[in-house]
Structure 1
Amino acid sequence: MGASAFSHFSTGMIVARNHDHIVYQLDPKDGQGTASVYAVMPGVEVISLSFQASRFIPTLHSKRNILELNHCQEGRAECKMKDGCLQYIGEGDLFMNTMSNHSDCIELPLGCYKGINITIDLEKLAEQLSDYLPDLPIDLQGMANRFFVNDECFFIQAKEEIQHIFCGMYSVPIEAKSTYFRLKVLEMLIYLYYFDIASETQKTIYARQQVDIIKQIQKRMTEDFERRFTIEELAQQYCISPTVLKTTFKGVYGVSIAAYMKEYRIRQAASMLHKTSKSIGDIALAVGYKSQSKFGAAFKEIYEMSPLEYRNQIRLN
């Protein structure tokens, strides 16, 4: 099995390769990332992705009859699909699509992403699947068609069964990855074969115009993070209803405005504790906390230690 049967990252530089996998060092916009591509069966590749960036260009395939499975372990991804809709993948979610409705660009609203992408050439795998599952005659094309009757993508929200399949794929030792990935792909196919499609409610699809407004609001709040904006104030300024503002923001960033800004402020404070000699009281004010005790409680909630303990630990390290 060749290590790269049909995957190629045009922005990537190959930094390692052997008979069954290739590791790309990627150069996405405003950051860095890696993609490790494993050929695990004829027509099947498992790609382990890790990014600290704002966006990246995914691998594209010349063949159309390819099924993609995308699982998110950490972070969040915004997929701009060919049909114009925006899909958001959060931690634990599984997103499925075909190459007839692929994403040309993936935005990372939280600036990071870690996940696994499985690409399946349905025709190529179908020729040999019975060798791997002799007692279960899975019709791959028929199975895929079930998921895309009404659309060319399908969303399975985070659930225990999905976590069970994917959790070990992120930690298995490198020498066992190809074999382990092969077993997990087969387990995934069996799971999808018996999956009750009617039981899975599909996530809301957000209009691009609304998402653009939400991103403007996020930019405004993070650029002026010491100030505390109200929902009503932002809604009025950007001509959007408070309800749409709240629901769309959570759809894009995965959390409420309050939770997002709380963590953003604390992350900024941690950077100041690390890079400056400002007092903890001054840093609390700089990130929008008039009460040092409330700042300390919020900081401990995220970092599991007080601001002083964090600064002392950084200095020791």
Structure 2
Amino acid sequence: MNEEWTKVIPLYPGIKLSYLAFSSDSLSVHHKARAHIIQIHCCKEGQLVWDMGNGNHVYLNPGDFSLHTMKACTDSVLTFPSGTYQGFTIYIDLQEASRNPPELLKNSGVFERILSEKFCLDERPVFLAGNEQTESIFSAFYHQPERLKLPYQKIKTLELLLYLGKTEFTSKQQLSEYQAEQIRIVRKIHDQMIQHMEQRITIEDLSRQYLINPTTLKAAFKSIYGTSIAAHIKEHRMEQAAKMLRQSKMSIAEIAQAVGYDSHSKFTAAFKAYFKVLPKEYRKQ
């Protein structure tokens, strides 16, 4: 088993950050019960099933995140279904952060009241589906110039805390085990279609393969990717075709086949509708 925990990075009094990466199937975690410390965990790559040992579970896919106290996960087991995993955790000591809050959060009530009332009233973890706003926050924790890493970590942590403070989380935003499994399936279907654009796979075929209702599949896909399956895959087909026109010497007919069009004329019409120019003209640009 390969595992990597970065050293703990102090951000503010009572607030610390740690990155983690695993090449493993599972990991057992044991620590003291600390009800005054909150963990905010974000999944970057892979999947995480977190068995808290007290009957509570967390299920995370890329972009999803969870919140719970360190009392909730005292003796727990982390399972990584894909065999690899990357993410990061922000640790917040509510007592220390309340005494010495970051300047921008003074008198905000984030540490004294908001976090504890929203996420610490019982020992049940909360896990939430990511969205465009959280993605813009989480992505900035990675791929920054060395000299700017700490400033970005500190600023984005404050932005995340402000987001958690202002957002009223509904039951629709909070993932259940069933919803998390749906998201995992839909993302797997998405990856399959993108990796095999030469194939024309129907929604009915996918629903049978993955044992998911077609109506549920269409609704879940749109909620995650913001558009219909057909529109989303067409966009990827057109972008891939444009890339092949620029970078390869394949004929237009071969490119059409490679992105799932048996008819040269249908491909040409679809390409022109998308890029406002014929494929042969696009290649000349």
TM over 0.5: yes
Equivalent of residue 256 in structure 2, options 275, 280, 284: 284
Code of the aligned partner of 1:80: V
- 1:159 and 1:253, CA in 2 relative to 1: closer, same or farther beyond 3 A? closer
- 1:173 and 1:215, CA in 2 relative to 1: closer, same or farther beyond 3 A? closer
Q: Is the 8 A contact 1:56 1:105 kept in 2?
A: yes
Question: Are 1:67 and 2:38 matched, yes or no?
Answer: yes
For residues 132 and 195 of structure 2, the distance between their equivalents in structure 1, rounded to whole angstroms, comes to: 35
Paired position in structure 2 for 1:202: 173
Q: CA deviation at 1:277?
A: 3.1
For residues 206 and 264 of structure 1, the distance between their equivalents in structure 2, rounded to whole angstroms, comes to: 30
Equivalent of residue 147 in structure 2, options 152, 175, 188: 175
SS at match of 1:39: strand
Map 1:146-225 → 2, pairs under 5 A: 146-148=117-119, 149=121, 151-155=124-128, 158=131, 174-179=146-151, 181-182=153-154, 184-186=156-158, 188-189=160-161, 192-193=164-165, 195=166, 197=168, 201-205=172-176, 207=178, 221=193, 225=197
Percent identity over paired residues: 29
For residues 276 and 131 of structure 1, the distance between their equivalents in structure 2, rounded to whole angstroms, comes to: 53
For residues 222 and 131 of structure 1, the distance between their equivalents in structure 2, rounded to whole angstroms, comes to: 44
- 1:225 and 1:10, CA in 2 relative to 1: closer, same or farther beyond 3 A? same
Map 1:106-145 → 2, pairs under 5 A: 117=88, 119-122=90-93, 125-126=96-97, 129-130=100-101, 136=107, 138=109, 140=111, 142-145=113-116
Paired position in structure 2 for 1:11: 3
Q: How many residue pairs get matched?
A: 266
SS at match of 1:261: helix
Map 1:238-249 → 2, pairs under 5 A: 239-249=211-221
For residues 187 and 56 of structure 1, the distance between their equivalents in structure 2, rounded to whole angstroms, comes to: 33
Map 1:257-272 → 2, pairs under 5 A: 257-266=229-238, 269=241
Q: CA deviation at 1:186?
A: 4.5
Q: CA deviation at 1:288?
A: 1.1
For residues 130 and 5 of structure 2, the distance between their equivalents in structure 1, rounded to whole angstroms, comes to: 33
Q: Is the 8 A contact 2:45 2:61 kept in 1?
A: yes
Q: Is the 8 A contact 1:225 1:287 kept in 2?
A: yes
SS at match of 2:204: helix
Question: Are 1:41 and 2:12 matched, yes or no?
Answer: yes
Paired position in structure 2 for 1:229: 201
- 1:306 and 1:216, CA in 2 relative to 1: closer, same or farther beyond 3 A? same
Equivalent of residue 78 in structure 2, options 98, 104, 113: 104
Q: Is the 8 A contact 2:61 2:183 kept in 1?
A: no
Unaligned runs of 5+ in 1: 1-8, 15-21, 23-36
TM-score, with length taken from structure 2: 0.59
Deviations 1:261-307 (A, max 9, x none): 33554565467557753212211122212223245347749xxx986
Q: Is the 8 A contact 2:39 2:92 kept in 1?
A: no
Q: CA deviation at 1:121?
A: 3.8
Paired position in structure 2 for 1:80: 49
SS at match of 2:39: strand
Structure of higher RCO (CA pairs closer than 8 Å, 6+ residues apart): 2
Code of the aligned partner of 1:153: V
